[in-house]
C-alpha cells in the first residue's frame, strides 16, 4: 500500500473538526487498505507503533537528532534546519519545506533518468520499528541514517508526517472511538457492528490487532474473542451518586456494596507460574510490586486467571491504611527493595475476569464473586475486599461510614441482577461510586484533563500559574473545557510544570479539544488531575455540555482547587461531560428543595 495514501489522509484530517467528516475520511482510507497491513495503518494513524501496554521501546529520537537527520537527508547544514524550524513553527513543516526545495533542485536530466519509487506503509512502519529497537553502541548514528533514508525517499507531505510521528506530535486528532466507527462502516456494514468491535477492543486493548482480525477473518470472528492471560482488559468504570436511596434504585433494589479503597487499581494476570500486573491505564506495573507477584503466585489457586483488585499501602506499625499519594513512592525504578520495606502493601480483590480458559466477563457478578472466593487463599495481606449485600438505604449509609472510618474513600455499589456482567471499558449504572468526597463542598472531586496553560503574575511571573482543565465527552470523543485552576498547587508543583508539559506543548489547540477560552499555551490532552471546588455553575466561556442546560452556556467549577495528579488514569478515564451534567442537576435539586432558614426570603 502506498504510504502516500496515509499521509494524504492525515493531511486532510488536520483540516476538519467534524467527527462525521473524520469517520468518512478514515473509512475511505480503510477501503483502500489491504487487509494484511490494516493493523499498521491503524497504529500509525493513532501515533504509535504498537499497543502501549506492550511496553515496547520508544523511537528514542530527540529533536536534536531529527535536525541531524534532516540535515543529512536534504544536504543542508544543521543551522539552516534550525533557522527553518524557527520560521516554519515546527519540525514537520520544516521537513515538508526542505523536501520541496530539494525536489526543485533536481535537474530534468536527473529526474528523467531516475526511477521514481514510492514508499509503502510496510516499509515506513518496519523502518520505524527497527529504529525503536536499536540500542547500544552505534545505535544513535544508525537511527539518524535510517531516519534520513526515509525522509530522502519521502514526498513533502510524507516527510512532514514521518517527522511529526517521530516527535509524537501528530495533529490528526483521531481517537480510538473514531477509528472504531470507521472500521464498523467498512468491515461491519455500519453502526450496528460498532459494539462488537468495541467489545473485542476492550478485551484485547489492541486496536491494530482487532482491525487485522476484522479485516482478514470478518465480524463473526470478533464475537468469539475472549480474555487472554497476559493481555490487559480495559477496566470497567463506574457512575457516581451521593444519595443512598437513589443509588439502590438505580442498581435495581438490592446490591453488593464493597469498600472503595484509596489505592492503585490492579489487574493481576496469573499465567502458570508467571504473574503480570497492569494498572488501570494498562501499564505494566509488575516491577513496582514484586511482593504482590509473590502473593499472587502463592494465593491464587488456578493455572491461569485474571483477577482485579486494589493495591493499598499501610502503616506497618498500626495497620492503618494510607492514602494513594503514599503508594506513589512505589513508582521509583531503583531500590524497589527499600520501597517494599517503607511502603508495604495489602491487596483487596473484588472481581474475576478469566479462569482456566473460561471467560467470566459475561457472567453475573455473584457468579464471578463465588468463583473468585473459591480460588483465593486469603492472608493478612491478600484478601477479598470487604463487602455486604443490602437493599436498605440506611444499611448502605452505615456501611459507607464504616468504610470511611477504616481509611477508605467510600464504597462501590454493584447491581446484582442477571445482567450484572463485567462491562470492560464501559461506564454504567451497574457500578456506582459513593465516596466520602460527596460530603465535601462540591459533592465530589472530579478528574479533569489539562489542555492548556497560562503564565502567572507576581510571584509566579515567568512560569505557569494556572491550567485549563477539560472533561471528556464520550459521545463526541472530545475534551470540553470546564475551568481554569491556579490554586492548590505547591511551589514544587509549579516548578515541575514546565518540564512536565514541555513534550506536549503545541502551537494551536489539539483537534480533540473544544475550547473558546484562549490559553497562553496549548497542551496535548495527556495529564489528568483531581480537582475540587465550591460548586458547579454555568459559564458562557466554557464548552462542557454547552447548550444542554442553558443556551450559550457550559458547566464550570467555581473556585476550583488542584488536589493531586492522577497518573493512574488515561485522559479518556476522566470525568465525563454527562457526569458533570448529572452532578449539576443533583446539586440544583438539593438547593431548590432545601427549606429556607429563619430570616430567608
How long a stretch of residues is the chain?
601
Handedness of CA 20, 479, 444, 541 (dihedral sign): negative
| Arithmetic mean of pLDDT, 574-588 | 89
Q: Which residue matches cell numbers 536527473?
A: 110
User: Which of the two residues, 215 and 435, has the higher pLDDT score?
Assistant: 215
116 backbone dihedrals φ, ψ, rounded to 5°? -70, 135
Q: Is the pLDDT of residue 443 over 70?
A: no
* CATH topology for the 48-167 domain: DNA ligase i, domain 1 (1.10.3260)
Q: Which CA distances in Å does 375 have to 134, 233, 303, 351?
A: 43, 20, 10, 12
For residue 458, pLDDT beyond 70: no
Per-residue pLDDT at 69 exceeds 90: yes
Beta-strand relationship, 513-514 and 237-240 = unpaired
The rounded percent of the chain whose pLDDT value lies above 90 is 67
Within the chain, all domains assigned CATH 1.10.3260.10 are found at 48-167
pLDDT in tens, 548-569: 988 888 999 888 899 999 998 9
What mean pLDDT comes out for the span 532-539? Answer: 86
CATH 2.40.50.140 spans which residues of the chain? 446-591
Tell me how far apart the alpha carbons of residues 2 and 343 are, in angstroms, rounded to a whole number. 53
From 3.40.50.2300, 3.40.50.1860, 3.40.630.10, 2.40.50.140, which CATH number describes the 446-591 domain? 2.40.50.140
CATH number of 237-439: 3.30.470.30
Tens of pLDDT, residue by residue over 23-67, are: 999 999 999 999 999 999 999 999 899 998 998 888 889 889 999
Q: How far are the Cα atoms of 230, 355, 445, 487 from residue 440, in angstroms, in the given order?
A: 40, 40, 8, 17
The answer to whether the pTM exceeds 0.75 is: yes
pLDDT for residue 115: 43
Average pLDDT over residues 500-521: 92
CA distance linking residue 204 with residue 218, whole number of Å: 17
Nearest to 399 by CA among 248, 265, 239: 248
Residue 105's pLDDT is what?
Answer: 61
The more confidently predicted of residues 100 and 17 is 100
Catalytic residues: 260
Domain with CATH 3.30.470.30 in the chain: 237-439
Describe the crossing of helices 207-217 and 176-187 by its angle, rounded to 10 degrees: 0
pLDDT attached to residue 392: 95
Query: Over the chain, what is the mean pLDDT?
Result: 89
For residue 515, the model assigns a pLDDT of 95
Amino acid at each position: 500500500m502506498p504510504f502516500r495514501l496515509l499521509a494524504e489522509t492525515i493531511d486532510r484530517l488536520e483540516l476538519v473538526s467534524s467527527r462525521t467528516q473524520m469517520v468518512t475520511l478514515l473509512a475511505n482510507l480503510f477501503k483502500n487498505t489491504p487487509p494484511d497491513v490494516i493493523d499498521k495503518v491503524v497504529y500509525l494513524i493513532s501515533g504509535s507503533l504498537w499497543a502501549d501496554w506492550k511496553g515496547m521501546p520508544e523511537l528514542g529520537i530527540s529533536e536534536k537528532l531529527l535536525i541531524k537527520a534532516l540535515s543529512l537527508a536534504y544536504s543542508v547544514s544543521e543551522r539552516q534546519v534550525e533557522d527553518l524550524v524557527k520560521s516554519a513553527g515546527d519540525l514537520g513543516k520544516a521537513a515538508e519545506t526542505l523536501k520541496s526545495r530539494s525536489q526543485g533542485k533536481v535537474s530534468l536530466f536527473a529526474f528523467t533518468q531516475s526511477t521514481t519509487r514510492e514508499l509503502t506503509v510496510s516499509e515506513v512502519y518496519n523502518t520505524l520499528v527497527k529504529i525503536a529497537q536499536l540500542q547500544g553502541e552505534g545505535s544513535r548514528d544508525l537511527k539518524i541514517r535510517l531516519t534520513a533514508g526515509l525522509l530522502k525517499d519521502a514526498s513533502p507531505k510524507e516527510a512532514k508526517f514521518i517527522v511529526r510521528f517521530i516527535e509524537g506530535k501528530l495533529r490528526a486528532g483521531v481517537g480510538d472511538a473514531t477509528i472504531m466507527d470507521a472500521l464498523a462502516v467498512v468491515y461491519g456494514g455500519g453502526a450496528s457492528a460498532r459494539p462488537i468491535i468495541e467489545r473485542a477492543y476492550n478485551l484485547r486493548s489492541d486496536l491494530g490487532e482487532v482491525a487485522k482480525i476484522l479485516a482478514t477473518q470478518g465480524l463473526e470472528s470478533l464475537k468469539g474473542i475472549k480474555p487472554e492471560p497476559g493481555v490487559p482488559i480495559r477496566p470497567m468504570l463506574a457512575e457516581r451518586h451521593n444519595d443512598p436511596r437513589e443509588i439502590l434504585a438505580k442498581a435495581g433494589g438490592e446490591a453488593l456494596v464493597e469498600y472503595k479503597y484509596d489505592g492503585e487499581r490492579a489487574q493481576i494476570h496469573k499465567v502458570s507460574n508467571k504473574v503480570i500486573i497492569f494498572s488501570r491505564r494498562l501499564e505494566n506495573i509488575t516491577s513496582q510490586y514484586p511482593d504482590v507477584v509473590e502473593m499472587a503466585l502463592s494465593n491464587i489457586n488456578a493455572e491461569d486467571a485474571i483477577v482485579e483488585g486494589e493495591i493499598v499501602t499501610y502503616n506497618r506499625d498500626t495497620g492503618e491504611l494510607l492514602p494513594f499519594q503514599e503508594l506513589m513512592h512505589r513508582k521509583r525504578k531503583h531500590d524497589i527493595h527499600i520501597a517494599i520495606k517503607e511502603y508495604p502493601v495489602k491487596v483487596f480483590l473484588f472481581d474475576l475476569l478469566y479462569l482456566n480458559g473460561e471467560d467470566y466477563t459475561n457472567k453475573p457478578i455473584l457468579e464471578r464473586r463465588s468463583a473468585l472466593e473459591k480460588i483465593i487463599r486469603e492472608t493478612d495481606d491478600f484478601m477479598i475486599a470487604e463487602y455486604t449485600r443490602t437493599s436498605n438505604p440506611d444499611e448502605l449509609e452505615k456501611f459507607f461510614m464504616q468504610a470511611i472510618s477504616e481509611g477508605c474513600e467510600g464504597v462501590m455499589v454493584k447491581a446484582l441482577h442477571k445482567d450484572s456482567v463485567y462491562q470492560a471499558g464501559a461506564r454504567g449504572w451497574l457500578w456506582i461510586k459513593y465516596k466520602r468526597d460527596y460530603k465535601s463542598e462540591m459533592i465530589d472531586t472530579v478528574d479533569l484533563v489539562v489542555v492548556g496553560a497560562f503564565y502567572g503574575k507576581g510571584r509566579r511571573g515567568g512560569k505557569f500559574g494556572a491550567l485549563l482543565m477539560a472533561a471528556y465527552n464520550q459521545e463526541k470523543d472530545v475534551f470540553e473545557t470546564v475551568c481554569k485552576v491556579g490554586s492548590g498547587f505547591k511551589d514544587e508543583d509549579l516548578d515541575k510544570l514546565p518540564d512536565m508539559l514541555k513534550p506536549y506543548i503545541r502551537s494551536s489547540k489539539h483537534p480533540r479539544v473544544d475550547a473558546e477560552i484562549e490559553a497562553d499555551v496549548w497542551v496535548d490532552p495527556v495529564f489528568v488531575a483531581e480537582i475540587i471546588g465550591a460548586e458547579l455553575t454555568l459559564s458562557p466561556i466554557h464548552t462542557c455540555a454547552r447548550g444542554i442546560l442553558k443556551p450559550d452556556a457550559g458547566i464550570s467549577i467555581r473556585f476550583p482547587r488542584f488536589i493531586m495528579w492522577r497518573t493512574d488514569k488515561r485522559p479518556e478515564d476522566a470525568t465525563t461531560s454527562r457526569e458533570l451534567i448529572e452532578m449539576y442537576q443533583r446539586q440544583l435539586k438539593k438547593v431548590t428543595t432545601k427549606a429556607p432558614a429563619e430570616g430567608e426570603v
